[in-house]
Every structure is written in structure tokens, then in C-alpha cells.
Amino acid sequence: MYETLDIYLTRLCRSDQGTEGRLSIPALNFSCPCLELPWRDNKPNISCIPPGTYPLAWRESRRWKAFHIQNVPGRSFILIHSGNFAGDVAMGWKTHVHGCVLLGTKFGRLKGQRAILVSRPMVRRFNTVLRGRKARITIKEQWREAA
């Protein structure tokens, strides 16, 4: 059996169009861009989750097969999955998440909005690398404001 694998999500840039960061697994030499909702005081469905360390577990349902970030205070069903947008819908931006983390290969623009691109292949790679392993994710902030 594997020992617990440490995953790090470092938040780098924030705006109403989303929170850009980098997800890394140093022990497996894995790293990719990630996108979350803007910080909105940890409010369910509209905010990224608070910094901290959380266990990860594989979750399957009729709709999802994804890693689930567990034990987030005041939150549930926080997944790591594919998608492009994580903007504040109250400000007119599109989103594909309700608090989850999107992975991709690079940042760019789609339909005039900041986005994470080539998401599905990166999520498949992440799921394959982690499959069957016990893991925890540490989220930390290293902010700069987006232009």
C-alpha cells in the first residue's frame, strides 16, 4: 500500500473571472495549471474553499467519477474535474463549478473570458496518476491581482 501522497495547490492570481493557480505532486513530478472560483468568504456554490489541508478520496456517482476534497468546513462535494470557466456569475461571468477545482494544460481566453484550456486530458492524467493512492491536498495562497 502507498503512503499518503502530498498534493499542493498554490493560488497565484485572482479576479472576478476566477482564481488561477498551480497544482503539483512533487513525489510524482506532476504539475498543471488549475482554476477555481473567486474567494467569496467560503459561501457554498460561489466561492473557492479556504486554504488548508484536506484529505482526498475517489468518488463515483451516476454523474461523476472524480477525486473529492473532503472535510472542507461548511462545504461538501468539492471535486477536481474538467471544465473551462470559474467566474463570478453575479458579475456576469460564466462558470463550470460550484466550488470545485478545474485542471488544464494552460490558461487562455474563451468567449472573452479567462479560462483554463485542454482540461479533459489533464484531468484524465491526474486521475490515472492518483488512482488507488491515498492523498491529501494543501491549498495555500501566493496572491497577485489579475490585470
* Rounded Cα–Cα distance for residues 3 and 24 (Å): 17
State pTM to two decimals. 0.94
Q: Which residues contact residue 61 at a Cβ distance below 8 angstroms, ignoring those fewer than 6 apart? A: none
* pLDDT per position as a tens digit, 54-99: 999 998 877 778 999 999 999 999 999 999 999 999 999 999 999 9
- What's the mean per-residue pLDDT of the chain? 94
Q: Where are the beta strands (DSSP E) in 1-134?
A: 5-15, 18-25, 30-36, 52-60, 65-69, 78-81, 101-103, 106-110, 113-117
Q: Helix or strand or coil: residue 117?
A: strand
- Helical residues (DSSP H) of 46-136, grouped into ranges: 119-130
